[in-house]
A and B are shown apart, each in its own frame.
Chain A
Amino acid sequence: MRVGALVVAVLAASFGVSGSAPASVEARDLVRPHAFADFPLYDAGDQVDGLPLTAVLRRDGTAEFVSFVYGDCAARDDEGCAPPVEVQVWPACRRNLDLYASGRPGTPVPERTTARGVPAAFLDDGTRLELQTGRSTVVVFADSRARVLRVVSALRPVGERALSGPLPPPAPGAVQGTLPC
């Protein structure tokens, strides 16, 4: 039997049932700034756009990020499902907008923009936005461009009150992919 590999995972909702229960306070404490210093974390609060925070995931290995999952979905045999909203926070040294500048055929072409005053790009027909702030890259997945933007407007440092203004600018070299890990 396989072992769940999520270092931090909170599945507050029952299997296969749309959940409304928020992630536990204990799990969120594990990624609060005093306990997590690898890179600055941002989330969209305990709920966003009517969706509760249902899981906090930590991935460290071939990919490195902390993920905040909002809302739930019903997976089936042989068919996973995409939660309505997900906010992934990566260290900018592992994920940055420069990765799309490889020039290799088949590389996605991002739609460059600015969000919350920092460099950003839409991908996947607007259902994904990546923005760079400080030493972090924040990736928002949602079902529409409008919802992505509503989530972006709710981004704030984990454990802090909502911010309405611009996010901190990216650290030198963060966008260019030259920031050391």
Chain B
Amino acid sequence: MVGFKQASVGRVLLAAGAVAALAAIGARPAAAHFDSTSKYTYSSCPGTQQNRVDPINVVFTVWGTWGRAVSQTGTHAGWTNTSGTTEYFVDHGSCYPMHAQVASGTFSRFHIRVRGQHPDDVLGWTATGDAHHEDFVVFPVLCGHAVDSNGPSGSGFDQGRDELEDRFASAGHRTYRVWWGNTQSFKQCDGDYAGSDGWTAFIELHQLNH
């Protein structure tokens, strides 16, 4: 009897596990999608309009895990310096710290913070970033890193996105742009303002490329 009970319990557990696995498989596509509701990074959590810092202007897709995004940004763009402040991202209404940041140097430099986001049925694994070019400002006020202000060739945010997009495209990655309209102006520590032009670059990190 004991053996029978144990076998029955085992079968029940196996069946329950199978049902749970099937349910999980069936439920995943419905829950998994890329969330573009939040289009900024934040200085702290919770992410609100008051603590927005940078516009998000790059989305890595198609095997765009944050690790692959950082690794390939180093390979293609040479951004490997990891200094900078921690910022936060919002995904599906919850606020999380960034996963990584890389830059092209220490002082005036290109810089991006990256966080992996939900996988998506169409886009695959995704990660978002706030690419920008920033100067190290010492005059008229010693304030440190400030994103380049808006200009005819775009703001520092546009320049950072363009640089990354060009480097990945040159290496054979497919890229395209999506209108996000996240053009809010951000005051920098030198008193100038910088903002995105509203276009976000989607960069595919397909395994065929690497």
Contacts and interface: CB of A to CB of B under 8 A. Distances in A.
Say whether A and B bind each other.
yes
B50 interface: yes
Contacts of A72: 187
Contacts of A81: 52-53, 186-187
Contact of A62 (B38, B158, B186, B189): B158
A79 interface: yes
A104 B201 CA distance: 12
Nearest to A54: B187
Interface size classification for chain B:
35 or more
* B interface SS class: loop
B6 interface: no
Given A4-B149, A9-B193, A57-B150, A108 B181 contact: yes
Interface residues of A, number: 53
Contacts of A4: 149, 192
B193 A6 contact: yes
A4 B190 CA distance: 10
Interface in B47-89: 48-54, 59, 61, 84-85, 87
A124 B39 contact: yes
B191 interface: yes
A79 B85 contact: yes
A105 B141 contact: no
B147 interface: yes
B8 interface: no
Contacts of B120: 105
A11 interface: yes
B188 interface: yes
A44 interface: no
Interface of A: 1-2, 4-6, 9, 11, 15-16, 55, 57, 59-63, 65, 67, 69, 72-73, 75-84, 86, 88, 95, 99-100, 102, 104-108, 123-125, 127-128, 130, 139, 141-144
Given A2-B135, A123-B181, 13 more contacts: A1-B137, A15-B143, A15-B189, A55-B193, A60-B152, A62-B197, A81-B186, A102-B179, A104-B178, A104-B202, A105-B122, A106-B61, A124-B38
